[in-house]
Homo-oligomer: A and B are copies of this chain.
Amino acid sequence: MKHLQASEALHIILEAVRTPGTEQARLEQALGRVLAQDIRANRDLPPCDVSAMDGFAVRSADVANAPVILEIIEDIRAGDMPRNTLAAGQCARIMTGAPVPPGADAVIRVEDTQEISASVVQINKAVKPGNDMRLRGENMFIGDVVLTAGTEITPGVIGVLATVKAAQFAVYRRPRVAILSTGNELEAMDEPVDPNKIPDANSYALMAQVQALGIEPVLLGIARDDPLELEQYLWRGLEYDVLLVSGGTSVGVHDYVRPTIEKLGVIMKFWRVAIRPGHPLAFGMLPPTKVPQVDAVQGASREPTQAYLEDRQGGEQRVTPQCAACGTLVFGLPGNPVSSMVCVEEFVAPALRRMMGNPRLYRRTVTARVAHEVKFCPGRTEFIRVQLTRDEAGYIASATGTQSSGVLLSMARADGLLVVPANSTGLAAGAQVIVQLLDGTAFQDEIGFSE
């Protein structure tokens, strides 16, 4: 069977992505969203020439031959308006951010002065016009576009939005995501422990990966290996913008997902990708005209899950109707949790981020040296779970124990994914490699500065 290369698969997925529209967000709840409009300045900032320091506003000509004695005619603090115009030989005590009074053209820092009395100061330094002043409009002029559509809303962006008093603005809507696990061998969280079953880790691991992108997914539950039951679950999932189905896409004779999903009208683009772990990754789209309507779904014979019911009764965000032009993106993920998590990192998360309007789709990468030999996996891109440490020469990547895709702890302990390209012929210890940083690794345990 011909396997797609990872980049070909990603290209097909990203080509299929549509942004499901925009909505209004309040400043207090906008962190991590993406602006869907340009933001303009609503005033000049600073509104006039202001002092950049605590000190004295002076006429620069007066202090050309410093030291010089000047009369203090006024105290101006931030929020005050100056009452007087400086004449020759005069100055004003001024605070950071306070308006520079008419007549003054420079500020002298308090440390370059010596107060003689409450009304007389000695200036010890000559300065040029404009010294330690911030000019009107230095930050922004009214009407300037200060942030453009497509900007991810970081804390710094929140600060700029507050500066222009944008209490509410348009952001890209978050896609609605449903997660379904499949398989007779799975044991649900609320079922008693059965040693012959496997706990359903996938639903929750995928939930957390989606939550990490700022999206609250809906867990549909576990569909058993029964074509009718599976069809009803899939039908419910197809009502969302994105459906993640784990398990049931491999070549085993007991896998029902493939025929069922095609029967429901999903046009599958591929069923395999040349990656390890995760090669049974499938992707398809349900055309917009075939997306199930609420009534059709409610008419399904099986009782919906609690999560599904809560979602249907949910708040404003959840009942947002699906974008008419979007259809549903369907990802068939491996049943194995490590494999499915790698597929979400590499293929689903970029699609979700593009849907949310984010120009940055991929995990930040760093270069590292690999601590040990890495065998190659001919023709497949391999993702090895690694921990990162550091020495004088930079990052060192070491595999987190066994790389068996059955061992989820290898993912829990990983700082990143070491990428072994498909054309690699193996890596010797010390070779330079690319590592994608995973969640939780925006922080480290070593101080980021030194004196």
Does any Cβ of B come within 8 Å of A16's Cβ?
no
Q: Which B residues are CB-close (under 8 A) to A184?
A: 77-80
> Given contacts A139-B407, A165-B189, A445-B362, is CB(A47)–CB(B196) below 8 Å?
yes
Q: Which B residues are CB-close (under 8 A) to A196?
A: 47-48, 79, 81, 99
Interface string of A155-171 (1 = CB under 8 A from B): 11111111111010000
Does any Cβ of B come within 8 Å of A357's Cβ?
no
Can you name 26 A-B residue pairings with CB atoms under 8 Å? Answer: A6-B449, A6-B451, A7-B450, A7-B451, A45-B199, A46-B198, A52-B406, A54-B251, A77-B184, A77-B225, A78-B185, A79-B185, A95-B254, A138-B406, A154-B208, A154-B438, A156-B341, A159-B412, A161-B204, A162-B204, A360-B444, A361-B443, A361-B445, A363-B442, A364-B448, A365-B446
Taking a contact as CB atoms under 8 Å apart, the answer to whether B159 and A444 are in contact is no
In chain A, positions 77-115 with a C-beta closer than 8 Å to chain B are 77-81, 93, 95-99, 110
> Given contacts A79-B183, A189-B167, A211-B31, is CB(A443)–CB(B364) below 8 Å?
yes
Q: Which B residues are CB-close (under 8 A) to A303?
A: none
Interface string of A171-195 (1 = CB under 8 A from B): 0000000000001111001100101
Does any Cβ of B come within 8 Å of A134's Cβ?
yes
Taking a contact as CB atoms under 8 Å apart, the answer to whether B411 and A156 are in contact is yes
Interface string of A390-429 (1 = CB under 8 A from B): 0000100000001010111101111001010111000000
Ranked nearest first, the 4 interchain pairs of A and B with the lowest CB-CB distance are A159-B205, A79-B185, A78-B185, A162-B204
In chain A, positions 328-369 with a C-beta closer than 8 Å to chain B are 335-337, 341, 346, 353, 358-367
Q: Which B residues are CB-close (under 8 A) to A162?
A: 189, 199-201, 203-205
* Chain B: minimal CB distance from A306 (Å): 12
Which residues does A use to contact B, with CB under 8 Å? Answer: 5-7, 10, 27-28, 31-32, 42-48, 52, 54, 75, 77-81, 93, 95-99, 110, 134, 138-140, 146-147, 151-152, 154-165, 167, 183-186, 189-190, 193, 195-205, 207-209, 211-212, 225, 250-254, 274, 335-337, 341, 346, 353, 358-367, 381, 383, 394, 402, 404, 406-409, 411-414, 417, 419, 421-423, 434, 436-451
